[in-house]
Amino acid sequence: MQTFSIPRVFRAAGDNMEMTELGNSGIKISRLGLGAWQAGGKQWGKDVREKDCIAAIVKAHELGINLIDTAEVYGKGHSEEVVAKALKKIGRDKMFVATKVAGSHLGHDDVIKACEHSLKRLGIDSIDLYQVHWPGVWEQVPLKETMKALETLHKRGKIRAIGVSNFAVRDLEEARAALSSADVVSDQVQYSMIHREIEKEVLPYCQKEKVTVLAWGPLGEGALTGKYTKGKTPKDSVRDDHHFFRPRNIVRITSLVKVLERVGKVHGKSAAQVALNWLMMKDRVVPIPGAKTPIQAEHNAGAHGWSLTTREMSRLDRAIKSLRLDTF
List active site positions.
74
- Report how far apart, in Å, the C-alpha atoms of 120 and of each of 84, 116, 124 are: 9, 6, 7
**DSSP secondary structure letter of residue 24:** T
CA dihedral sign, ordered 217, 220, 221, 225: negative
Look at strands 162-165 and 129-132 and give their pairing. Answer: parallel
The residues near 28 (Cβ < 8 Å, ≥ 6 apart) are: 10, 19, 20, 21, 22
Residue (of 299, 282, 281) closest to 290 by Cα position:
299
As a whole number of Å, the end-to-end CA separation of the chain is: 41
Distance, CA of 193 to CA of 321 (rounded, Å): 9
Side chain identity at 49, as an amino acid letter? R
Chain centre distance of CA 172: 17
Side chain identity at 52, as an amino acid letter? D
How open is the CA angle 268-271-257, to the nearest 5 degrees?
A: 135
Distance, CA of 230 to CA of 273 (rounded, Å): 22
Q: What are phi and psi of 318, to 5 degrees?
A: -65, -40
Chain centre distance of CA 86: 18
- Report how far apart, in Å, the C-alpha atoms of 290 and of each of 10, 46, 89, 236 are: 21, 16, 19, 15
Q: What are phi and psi of 84, to 5 degrees?
A: -60, -40
